Amino acid sequence: MNDRASSAWRVIDTGLRRPAENFAINQALLTCHQEGASPHTLRFLRFTPSALVGFHQNVEQELRVDYCQMQHIEIQRRLTGGGALYFDETQLGWELYLDKHTLGTADMGAIASRICTAAAEGISSLGVDARFRPRNDIEVDGRKISGTGGAFDGDSILYQGTLLIEFDVERMLKVLRIPAEKLSDKAIASARERVVNLRELLGAAPRMSHVQQVMTQAFAQAFGVGFESVADMNEREQEVYAEALIEIDSPDWVYQHNRPVNEAPMLESVYRSNGGLMRACVAVDRARNHLKQVWITGDFFVSPNRLILDLEASLKDTPLNALEHNIHRFFADRPAQMLRLTPTDFINLIHLATTEVSEACTSDSASGEGR
C-alpha cells in the first residue's frame, strides 16, 4: 500500500447527503483503504440538516431530541470521537484517507498539526488569516472556523474537518443540550464571538467549488502530490457502503451509548481532561465496595473506537481499591491511540464518581460497629 504515496491521489465530491449515507461512505472508504482497494483520497461532502454526536457520546446527554424531531433535524452518530455538532447545507466537510507511512507518524497530535496546517493554508488563500489551534481546530483571529478529528483502521487513517461557509449559531445552540440560560440573547451573541464563517469574513459566501479547489491545491502542495478527480466510488467501495448503510441507518447504531432506564447508574461525574470532556456513570455495590459497572462517554478521541467498550467490560465488578491498578494494567496490555488522554484521566474520572460511595461505605461501617 505504500507505493500509493508517490502516485496521484483521488479527489471525490460525494455531494449533499443524509448523515447515515455520509457515514456509510466514511466506513466504505476507510475499510477499502485499509484493504488496499482504495487510493489515498480527499473527499468533500455536505449534510442535510443533522445533529451529530461523537462516537463515544450519549445522545440524550448531548442533544435536544424533541427539538431535533420538531425541526426535522436528523440525529446520527459519527464514526469518530469528539463532541456534538450541528450540520446543514451551509457547511463543507473535507476528509483525507491516508496511511501512517505517508504521514510519517501514528501520533494523532502530530497528524492533526500537519493536516490542519495545510487546511489552514487553503482557507487563508480565500483572503483570511486562518491558523491551526491545538488540539484540533482552525481559527481566524481567535474565532473557530473549522473543527477536525480522526480515526485509525490499522495503518489507515480518516482525518476529517468542517469548514463554516455560513452558519446559524442560534440553531446550533438549540440543537445541543445546554442550560437554558445559555440560550439568552447575550449567550447567543457570546457564542457568535467564538465562531466565524467565511460569509461574515468575506462579505459574501464563496462558491463551494472554489473552496474545494483551493483546499485541494493546499493539500497537494503540503504532501507534494497531484490529484485526479473521480465521479463516484469504485465497485468494492460501493459494496462496503451498502453493507455499512444497513448498520448505520438504524436506531441501534445511533443510540448505542444510551443506557437502558433499568440500568440507571447511581452516581455520575464530569471531568475536563486535556483530551476533552469526559463523563462517567457508575453503579456501585456498596456492601462489597465494588464497582459493578461503569459507562464512559465524552467528546474525546481514542482508537480503536471499541477501546472504551473493552475498558468498561474489564472494570465490571472491580474492587474500588483495585481500580487504579486495573486501569493501568488494561492500558499496558493494549496498544491504543489517544489524543492527549492518559490512563490517569480515566482513573480521575471514575474516582470522582466513586469517592462519595467509598466515603459512604466507610461511614456505614463505622456506624455499624456502634450498634
Distance CA 181, CA 159 (A): 35
- Give per-residue pLDDT as tens, 28-37: 999 999 999 9
Helices (H), 161-234: 169-175, 185-194, 198-202, 208-223
pLDDT > 70: what percent of the chain? 90
Top CATH class of 261-369 equals alpha beta
pLDDT in tens, 309-350: 899 989 998 999 999 999 999 999 888 888 789 999 999 999
Calculate the average pLDDT of the chain. Answer: 88
Report d(CA 134, CA 120) in Å as an integer.
13
Is the pLDDT score of 130 beyond 70? Answer: yes
Domain boundaries, the chain: 2-254, 261-369
Q: Which residue has the cell 455531494?
A: 15
Give φ, ψ of 229 to 5 degrees: -85, 135
Give the CA distances from residue 2 to residues 100, 155, 159, 220, 259, in Å, rounded to whole numbers and listed in that order: 9, 10, 18, 17, 42
Confidence at 186, pLDDT banded by 50, 70, 90: confident
pLDDT of residue 356: 59
Q: In 3-state terms, what secondary structure has residue 163?
A: strand
Tell the CATH topology of 2-254.
BirA Bifunctional Protein; domain 2 (3.30.930)
Q: Is the confidence at residue 266, as pLDDT, over 70?
A: no
